[in-house]
């Protein structure tokens, strides 16, 4: 199975000119570039090889939803992948599983690809693997309500342990999960999704402090179908390598 590497730029960079040069430098086959909404159009026009991704969407196609960007707007703008339920949105914007579920269903009904983020907090992580599994299973069950087997071909899940996010600098290993522990959780995610919606061959990515030093160990794991990269995706030389 081919692996994908998704660049989540989050609320970066500050200027459109930097976004354009970042997009040029990151435009590789197998990559998905997810800039902030404001740069989607220009980044989409800049990419020739990578797919265009978005970091969120509203669940309706259009209508009176001030400040939101709709599904049709993203689809018509060339977006192929949409990240949903990122822990930063759950934390800072109080996004609930109910909202996330509406978005997931709406995206899959449009035949677009969704990258659903799930992950454990440091407190859950400290309690051990059984607690982590219970936490992730609860998120998956709520977030995948009304998702059918047929829809699951466009479903990606990203396992992002919250305690491992944003700890990495290019010259250190940061606090990424170990590939072995990530694989344990990712296998469990695949089982849960299979039981819930009979979604065989579901693709699960890992995210959290991936950088040039640790990337290979994660990519060599067969069970990990790709990576969701934050900080390192803003360092173009590192990301393209
Ligand atoms: P970092 O790679 O900066 O830890 O971010 C991971 C992430 O949240 C990607 O969505």
Residue of 86, 95, 125, 135 with catalytic role: 86
Q: pTM here?
A: 0.96
Pocket-testing residue among 34, 91, 117, 207, ligand 1, by greatest number of atoms within 8 A of Cβ:
207
pLDDT tens by residue, 104-146:
999 999 999 999 999 999 999 999 999 999 999 999 999 999 9
Residue of 37, 68, 160, 180 with catalytic role: 160
Nearest CA owner, ligand 1 atom 5: 230
> What is the DSSP annotation of the chain?
---EEEEE-TT--SSHHHHHHHHHHT--TTEEEE--GGGHHHHHHH-SSSEEEES---SSSSSS-TT---HHHHHHTT--EEEE--HHHHHHS---HHHHHHHHHHHHHTT-EEEEEE---HHHHHH-HHHHHHHHHHHHHHHTTT--TGGGGGEEEEE--GGGTT---TTS-TTPPPHHHHHHHHHHHHHHHHHHH--TT-EEEEESS--TTTHHHHHT-TT--EEEESGGGGSHHHHH-
pLDDT tens by residue, 50-69:
999 999 999 999 999 999 99
């Amino acid at each position: 199975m081919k692996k994908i590497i998704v660049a989540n730029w989050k609320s970066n960079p500050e200027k459109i000119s930097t976004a354009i040069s970042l997009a040029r430098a990151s435009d590789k086959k197998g990559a998905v570039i997810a800039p902030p909404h404001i740069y989607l159009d220009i980044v989409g026009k800049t990419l020739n090889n990578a797919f265009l991704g978005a970091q969120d969407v509203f669940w309706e196609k259009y209508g009176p939803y001030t400040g939101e960007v709709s599904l049709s707007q993203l689809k018509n703008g060339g977006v192929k992948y949409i990240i949903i339920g990122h822990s930063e949105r759950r934390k800072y914007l109080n996004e609930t599983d109910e909202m996330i579920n509406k978005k997931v269903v709406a995206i899959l009904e449009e035949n677009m690809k969704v990258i659903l983020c799930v992950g454990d907090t440091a407190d859950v992580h400290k309690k051990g693997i059984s607690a982590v599994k219970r936490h992730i299973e609860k998120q998956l069950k709520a977030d995948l309500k009304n998702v059918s087997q047929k829809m699951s071909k466009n479903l990606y899940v990203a396992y992002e342990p919250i305690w491992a996010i944003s700890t990495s600098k290019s010259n250190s290993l940061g606090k990424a999960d170990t590939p072995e522990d990530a694989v344990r959780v990712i296998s469990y995610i695949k089982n849960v999704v299979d039981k819930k919606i009979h979604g065989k061959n579901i693709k699960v990515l890992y995210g959290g402090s991936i950088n040039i030093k640790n990337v290979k160990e994660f990519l060599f794991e067969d069970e990990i179908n790709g990576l969701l990269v934050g900080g390192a995706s803003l360092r173009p030389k590192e990301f393209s390598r």
